[in-house]
Amino acid sequence: MYRLIELLASFLAVTIVLTLHEFSHAYVAYKCGDPTPKFRGRLTLNPLAHFDILGLVLFAFAGFGWAKPVPINPNNFRHYKRGLGLTAIAGVTMNYITAFLFCPLHLLVVNYVNIPIVYLQFLLEALTLYLFVYSVSFCVFNLIPLAPLDGWRVVQAVNRRHGRIYRFFEKYGSIILIVLIGIHFLANFMMGFEMLQLAGRIFSYVDILGYIMTYVVRAFMWPITALWGLVF
């Protein structure tokens, strides 16, 4: 029963985090002069408008994933570079802000909320925890400078010279990202079986995505938890 409640909390948290992330992209792009997100139905807090099924499932079970990219036309921006840059960082900025707000919410629930129905108490604690953790995880994951993630949009916004390295990552970035996700998945999957643990350890040595999602996420969490730790 607790496992089902945990999965429900994870799914609800993913829904909220992804929706806020994509809505912020659409809102900032619209404010910078591009009506494309509004015309394409993405200037909304309706989660169904933003879901990518594979990214949603991966996020719910692995802690990172993606939504459908918000369509934009940078040529509509009043200031091309500024609009592109602000739109690129809007999602990760929203995630970090909400992480800052969800952290004390979780601490309030754990320390001061006592619901007689134990399953409901567990759901509330798990939901607020996942909201915090997933907000930071999605922020970090999207900062990776590989297409189609937000980090690549930032590279596009600040890079004026499209040299050989830029063109390589523009062409193969999504493939590299899929390979990194595949290695991370295999490393975790194999470590769950005794007969495959040796192979799992080998994959874990080259699990770059695993290192990023472990150590960088912790680094991003630290200022938030340290600050709110002074209050609670």
Cite the active site residues: 22
Helices and strands counted in the chain (H then E): 10, 0
Look at the block and give the residue holding tokens 């807090």. 45
DSSP state of 105: H
Q: Is 192 helix (H, G, I), strand (E, B) or coil?
A: coil
Three-state SS letters, 50-93:
CCCHHHHHHHHHHCCCCCCCCCCCHHHCCCHHHHHHHHHHHHHH
What percent helix, strand, coil does the chain show, rounded to 5?
75, 0, 25
DSSP state of 196: G
The dihedrals phi and psi of 78, each to the nearest 5 degrees, come to -65, -35
